[in-house]
A and B are shown apart, each in its own frame.
Chain A
Amino acid sequence: MKDFWKRFSQNRGAVVGLVILLLVVILSIVAPFIFTKSPWAMVQRPFIPPFTMDAFVLGTDPMGRDLAAGLAHGARVSLLVGLVSTVVSLLIGIPIGAIAGYFGGWVDDLLMRFTEFFQSVPSFALAVVLVAIFQPSIYSIVISIAVVSWPPVARLLRGEVMSLRSREFVEAAVLSGQTHSTIIWRQILPNTISPIIVLASMMVAAAILIESSLSFLGLGDRNIMSWGYIIGAGRTVIRQAWWVSFFPGLAILLTVLALNLVGEGLNDALNPRLARKGR
């Protein structure tokens, strides 16, 4: 753990990213306590510019809602959607990749053709179609992000499992008569955790971008205040009220940037040999 932190902190960008990310996480946790009113509540006259009123630091939107409250509540939505959809896509991608890499042969061929198919479909367009057809809700959004995000997981896992499959400790496990599922769960998967963690941190970032794009297009859950939704709502009044679209976009940018930086730091810390080669 000490080594891990030492290698992680050598990457200055990663430390900056971690600090930003922690701030966003804290913001999302304390949001309901600081902004006790619903972010949908109309609290003041519309179009108050930012930094002119202490009670509404970031101003109000065209409906007179507090922009700062919307941002704080949106943080939780973005992080949760990013996290949950990444977990779901890991749940799809890991078994497919592990089975393909472990068994090889026609199973591998079949599963990889399936994966390739999902990779050659325009992913954002597919996410839009899925959310539209199954009606916009937090569930359909998470599922569609997962459906378009799992192929890289499967490909990564397949490669890792294939190289582990021929290692001596796996062969020993096969000879000792362990079942396939025991070998996969006990011997192989624990050795693939570090590349998965690195990939997952980048996937959370990508998922946040997809969620905000969907909400921007009006495909968000109507009961949930999200950053993408606020930008979409501010779009039509951008000439009069630039701040309504500006701040949530900045929030997305910083969060995604932070996650990518942390991902790079994790890569340095978890795969030290690879990281040194890449310098």
Chain B
Amino acid sequence: MLRFISGRLLKAVVILICITVLNFFLIHAAPGDPAAVMAGEAGDADPAFLQQLRERFGLDKPLYMQLWIYVSSVVQLDLGYSYRQQLPVLQLIGERLPATLLLSLSAFVISLGLGVAAGAFASARQGKWADTIISLVALIFYATPLFWLALMGVLLFSVQLGWLPGFGYETVGANYTGLARAIDIFMHLILPAMTLGLFFMAVYARMTRASMLEVGRLDFVKTAKAKGLRPGVIQRRHVLRNALLPVVTLAGLQAGQLVGGAVLIETVFAWPGIGRLMFDALSQRDYNLLLGVFVVSAAMVLLFNLITDVLYRLVDPRIKVTS
């Protein structure tokens, strides 16, 4: 297991370095002086600062030297400086990362848990009305624009019903501490995490349903039936466990979309995470910050992939995890 994880980590590092290279070429492909792009001032940056950037990143040297300087500074976790916010990019991201991790991990757990449960429930009642309703709801959520679902959630649960707070991470000025603060944050988390989770719940429900129906037709399930096992036991112990494999694979593939969805959700709910930071960077043309957020969100996706890879090996009945 340890060897497996370290292999995956190595692969993740290689991908991150490739993304850094991609970033470098993006900066150079953008219209205008790369120093101006990095400064994010679209040409009106302080000339002294531009000169400083040119020297630091060797922008007068040949392209391959520039690439080397850029990549090696990112590898040393130097994501540059946000001229607009007057702070290092890494520090800005570091302050916002916990909120994004909280949001996307909650959404991930909600969507996978509810999605698998709904899909399994539907497949056990194939063709009955419960199956039809679950499939229909999943189909609709699968087609719903995330940001719109979020807005409608705010409109219904926050503006109309007044049940849940519609924006922010905690009540500003309330100065809660300890448990009261945790509850406050939890209340703020419900709407964003649910909206982000619902879309992916639909994906996993559809996949679980299809996959369980497919596994249910295999020979070993017939054997289990012939042995006289109760249907519930067959569904849980034999069918679900095998049917989960493609779902877990899909969950890994969807991780990227989950992080991307967080950008939209955080924008709607004013959730102080890196997605919101990305939106601010966009409106201020702060490219260095934008690219920094991009690298960190890619790292998050790789982390999610690692989690699902480990999950896969734990779920897969064909692989015995030996300690």
Contacts and interface: CB of A to CB of B under 8 A. Distances in A.
Interface of A: 13, 117, 119-130, 132-135, 205, 209, 212-213, 216-219, 228, 231, 235, 238-239, 242, 245-246, 248-249, 252-254, 256-257, 260-261, 277-278
Contacts, number: 135
Contacts of B29: 133-134
B155 A253 contact: no
B297 A122 contact: yes
A125 B298 contact: yes
16 contacts: A117-B15, A120-B301, A121-B256, A124-B260, A129-B290, A133-B26, A133-B290, A217-B264, A218-B283, A231-B145, A231-B151, A235-B151, A238-B155, A249-B144, A256-B144, A278-B213
A238 B140 contact: no
Contact of B151 (A124, A219, A249): A249
A180 B18 CA distance: 32
Given A124-B260, A132-B282, A132-B287, A117 B18 contact: yes
A132 B139 CA distance: 32
A122 B301 contact: yes
A212 B283 contact: no
A132 B22 CA distance: 15
Nearest to B252: A120
Contact of A253 (B31, B148, B291): B148
Contacts of B268: 235
Nearest to A260: B143
Given A119-B253, A121-B19, A125-B278, A238 B154 contact: yes
A260 B263 CA distance: 24
B142 interface: yes
B155 A242 contact: yes
Given A122-B259, A213-B147, A216-B147, A129 B26 contact: yes
Given A213-B146, A257-B140, A133 B287 contact: yes
Nearest to A209: B145
B10 interface: no
A129 B294 contact: yes
B301 A231 contact: no
Nearest to B305: A120
B2 to A, nearest CB: 22
Contact of A278 (B30, B214, B261): B214
Interface string B15-42: 1001100100011011100000100000
Contact of A218 (B213, B214, B282, B293): B282
A260 B294 CA distance: 30
Nearest to B301: A122
B266 to A, nearest CB: 11
A125 B145 contact: no
B62 to A, nearest CB: 22
Contacts of A218: 282-283
B210 interface: yes
